[in-house]
């Protein structure tokens, strides 16, 4: 008999999008399945949608006062009874076979604590934008190796990620201390204890809110939260990652530097740009050679040079090294 899977969702005042997300969970082909929904903040429209659903697999509950994003994730996931669970956001859409492949890999490989898949980006109206497909295909990666990758950037889309519920509970669930990257905080804790898997199948439509994009302050907060999460985990790496810790640390700070440059170019005001640059100068740029070059270019107001630095770093190891040798001659004098 196949194991029970729990699909979990918390919805917060998205009555236009929530019905489609709920319908996608109800349309799953996998059995046995339970579907658990939290209406966080008691949105009347969402409650009416749930009241009209008679599917026996569905259970739902309401909080009168909103818990907040990551606490709501935990509130709904702690009610799961399945051997495995998957969390779906209330504006995304699961494809009908959203968990079969991940469950199969997990069942065959006890050391794997979570398994993720590929996904499709869609716009507000559900129109296709692009696909996010891992070039590695189907794989299992040792936790200590994957931990270094996940430290630099979240390595899994949560709407595609099936997690062993027992392991989820043992590490304390989604990381409420991490803030916005609460999903990656969980993955990093899991990777200290076990491995990660990936299956080469698109299992969800991830909605990019183009008419209501994340505001700049939220993106700045995400950058700060990613910094705090990474610094915290660098102090307690898994044993297998200790030998590569210097490289992992450099990769982590270089990624923050690149994200900071991108955020700098979209700052809505001079004051907000100044606050960002102060934070980068204090926490990020002094940590690596790449960061110091970014700092030098920023002090000189060399926006084009900053763009060249980020572009060079993204090209690949050798090409980036060659470009940075040349750029270093230009940027280093700017540091004084």
pLDDT over 50 (residue 203) = yes
Same domain, 23 and 160: yes
Same domain, 43 and 185: yes
Residue 28 has a pLDDT of 98
Domain finish residue from 207, 227, 258: 207
Residue 318 has a pLDDT of 46
Residue 304 has a pLDDT of 61
Taking alpha carbons only, the member of 145, 229, 220 closest to residue 183 is 229
| Between 157 and 262, residue with greater pLDDT | 157
Confidence of residue 335 (pLDDT cuts 50, 70, 90): very low
Tokens (6 digits) for 210: 């183009």
Q: Count CB atoms within 10 A of the CB of residue 242.
A: 10
Sign of the dihedral defined by the CA atoms of residues 163, 26, 130, 136, in that order:
positive
Same domain, 201 and 300: no
Residue 243 has a pLDDT of 82
Residue 295 has a pLDDT of 81
Of these ranges, 101-105, 123-127, 256-260, the one predicted with the greatest mean pLDDT is 101-105
Q: Percentage of residues in the chain with pLDDT exceeding 90?
A: 77
Q: Count CB atoms within 10 A of the CB of residue 195.
A: 20
pLDDT over 60 (residue 206) = yes
Same domain, 181 and 269: no
Give the helix ranges, DSSP H, for the chain: 18-26, 44-51, 69-77, 100-108, 143-152, 165-170, 182-193, 216-234, 245-264, 270-283, 289-299, 303-314, 317-331
Residue 196 CA to residue 187 CA, distance in Å, equals 9
Residue 261 CA to residue 268 CA, distance in Å, equals 14
Domain finish residue from 207, 241, 260: 207
Burial class (CB in 10 A: 0-12, 13-18, 19+), 48: exposed
User: Nearest 5 degrees, angle CA 225-CA 228-CA 231?
Assistant: 145
Q: Count CB atoms within 10 A of the CB of residue 316.
A: 9
Convert the pLDDT of each residue in 296-327 to its tens digit.
Answer: 777 766 566 566 666 665 555 444 455 455 55
Residues 211, 257 contacting (CB under 8 angstroms): no
Q: Give the 3-state secondary structure of 149-162.
A: HHHHCCCCCHHHCE
Convert the pLDDT of each residue in 242-282 to its tens digit.
Answer: 888 999 999 999 999 989 988 988 899 999 999 999 999 99
Same domain, 101 and 168: yes
User: Nearest 5 degrees, angle CA 182-CA 184-CA 188?
Assistant: 120
Orientation angle between helical segments 289-299 and 270-283, nearest 10 degrees: 150
Q: How far is CA 80 from the centre of its chain?
A: 21
User: Nearest 5 degrees, angle CA 268-CA 67-CA 267?
Assistant: 5
Same domain, 148 and 281: no
pLDDT over 90 (residue 150) = yes
Domain finish residue from 207, 236, 262: 207
Same domain, 170 and 265: no
Mean pLDDT (the chain) is 90
Same domain, 145 and 289: no
Same domain, 117 and 90: yes
Convert the pLDDT of each residue in 171-180 to its tens digit.
Answer: 999 999 999 9
Please give the average per-residue pLDDT across 136-143, as a whole number. Answer: 97
Same domain, 134 and 254: no
Residue 208 CA to residue 171 CA, distance in Å, equals 30
Residue 39 CA to residue 75 CA, distance in Å, equals 11
Please give the average per-residue pLDDT across 123-141, as a whole number. Answer: 96
Residue 292 has a pLDDT of 86
Residue 112 CA to residue 334 CA, distance in Å, equals 48
Residue 48 has a pLDDT of 96
Please give the average per-residue pLDDT across 4-24, as a whole number. Answer: 96
Same domain, 51 and 136: yes
10-24, 92-106, 208-222, 301-315: least confident range: 301-315
Residues 184, 135 contacting (CB under 8 angstroms): no
Sign of the dihedral defined by the CA atoms of residues 73, 77, 83, 85, in that order:
negative
pLDDT over 90 (residue 149) = yes
Give the helix ranges, DSSP H, for 62-99: 69-77
Q: Give the residue numbers spanning the domain of 296.
A: 216-335
Residue 152 CA to residue 254 CA, distance in Å, equals 9
Residues 253, 280 contacting (CB under 8 angstroms): no
Residues in the chain: 336
Same domain, 142 and 230: no
Residue 146 sits in a domain of what CATH number? 3.90.550.10
The structural domain count of the chain equals: 2
């Amino acid at each position: 008999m196949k194991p029970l899977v729990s699909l979990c969702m918390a919805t917060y005042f998205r009555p236009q999008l929530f019905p489609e997300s709920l319908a996608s969970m109800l349309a799953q082909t996998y059995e046995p399945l339970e579907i658990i929904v939290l209406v966080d903040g008691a949105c009347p429209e969402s409650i009416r949608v749930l009241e009209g659903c008679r599917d026996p697999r569905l259970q739902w509950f309401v909080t009168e006062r909103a818990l907040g994003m990551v606490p709501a994730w935990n509130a709904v996931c702690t009610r799961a009874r399945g051997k495995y669970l998957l969390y779906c956001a209330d504006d995304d859409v699961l494809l009908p076979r959203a968990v079969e492949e991940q469950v199969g890999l997990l069942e065959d490989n006890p050391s794997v604590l979570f398994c993720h898949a590929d996904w499709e980006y869609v716009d507000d109206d559900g129109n296709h934008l692009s696909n996010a497909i891992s070039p590695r295909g189907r794989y299992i990666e040792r936790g200590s190796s994957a931990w270094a990758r996940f430290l630099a950037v979240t390595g899994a889309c949560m709407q595609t990620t099936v997690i062993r519920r027992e392991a989820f509970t043992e590490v304390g669930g989604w990381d409420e201390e991490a803030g916005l990257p609460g999903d990656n905080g969980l993955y990093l804790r899991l990777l200290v204890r076990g491995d990660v898997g990936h299956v080469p199948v698109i299992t969800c439509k991830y909605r990019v809110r183009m008419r209501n994009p994340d505001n700049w302050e939220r993106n700045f907060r995400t950058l700060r939260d990613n910094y705090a999460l990474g610094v915290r985990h660098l102090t307690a790496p898994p044993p297998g990652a200790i030998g590569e810790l210097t490289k992992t640390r450099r990769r982590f700070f270089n990624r923050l530097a690149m994200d900071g440059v991108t955020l700098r170019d979209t700052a809505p005001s001079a004051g907000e740009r100044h606050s960002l640059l102060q934070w980068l100068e204090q926490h990020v740029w002094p940590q690596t050679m790449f960061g110091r070059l970014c700092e030098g270019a920023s002090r000189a107001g060399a926006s084009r040079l900053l763009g060249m630095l980020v572009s060079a770093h993204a090209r690949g190891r050798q090409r980036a090294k060659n470009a940075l040798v040349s750029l270093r001659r230009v940027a280093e004098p700017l540091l004084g």
